[in-house]
Amino acid sequence: MEIEQKKIWVRQKKQEIPPHVLEMGLNMLFEEPRDIFSKLKNSQPLKPLQLEQIIDTQEDLVFVDAIKMPYTAEFDNVGFAKQLNPKLNVAVKDILVEEYQVYLHRIYGFDGIIFPISHLTKKLTETFIFMCDSMGMLPIPIIENELDLEKINSIELKTAITQFNKSSLVKLKQSREGYISKC
């Protein structure tokens, strides 16, 4: 159900902002995503923050759970919050169904994307991870089982693969480092 709803919201957003317009916006970005790897590595488990709360946050690392959210103007709060708080690092948790969403999250100003991969093929998982990485955002795939882990084994990620849970951060060995989350 969530995946189908997410596809509907992506289609709606594409009608509002066609992909070619989004690509032009990417070319006009002046601020690079912030490197959130070291902050994640040294942080306590994160709790999601509502978009309307992000401007007032005093934290320097937060994540927004966008899985059940349509792509509305509220997402602009991320960019505003980062201007007000230069130390703020923001990740988004979302169900990725199209490459368009990765571009969209980059435009909104997110520094990383936490995303489940159980519904994705290995090729699409690699594509999303590559896109995040090439745009300077930290890819944080959610690993739920061994099959999910196999989708990542062939990928050389730049950041440590880590599993988030309620009590601690548990590192998993990989050829390079990336993040795995159970947020």
The answer to whether residue 96 is domain-embedded is yes
> Which DSSP letter does residue 34 get?
P
The answer to whether residue 35 is domain-embedded is yes
Q: Domain tally for the chain? A: 1
Is pLDDT of 101 > 90?
yes
Measuring CA to CA, how many Å separate 30 from each of 14, 49, 65?
A: 23, 25, 25
The answer to whether residue 177 is domain-embedded is no
Mean pLDDT of all residues in 29-45:
72
- So what's the pLDDT on residue 163? 38
The answer to whether residue 128 is domain-embedded is yes
Q: Encode pLDDT of 113-140 as tens digits.
A: 999 999 999 999 989 988 998 888 988 8
The answer to whether residue 122 is domain-embedded is yes
What's the CA gap between 16 and 107, in Å, rounded? 14
- CATH code, domain carrying 40: 3.20.20.70
The answer to whether residue 31 is domain-embedded is yes
Identify whether the C-beta of residue 59 lies closer than 8 Å to the C-beta of residue 85: no
Identify whether the C-beta of residue 89 lies closer than 8 Å to the C-beta of residue 39: yes
Q: Encode pLDDT of 151-165 as tens digits.
A: 775 444 533 343 333
The letter for the amino acid at 116 is: P
For the ranges 77-86, 96-105, 132-141, the one whose mean pLDDT is highest:
96-105
pTM of the entire structure? 0.77
Mean pLDDT of all residues in 31-46:
72
Is pLDDT of 176 > 80?
no
- So what's the pLDDT on residue 104? 93
Q: 100 lies in which domain range?
A: 2-171
What's the CA gap between 60 and 122, in Å, rounded? 33
The answer to whether residue 25 is domain-embedded is yes
- So what's the pLDDT on residue 103? 93
Structure tokens at 105: 């999250």
* Position 100 confidence tier, pLDDT thresholds 50, 70, 90: very high
Mean pLDDT of all residues in 43-67:
84
Contacts of 24 (CB under 8 A, 6+ apart): none
The answer to whether residue 183 is domain-embedded is no
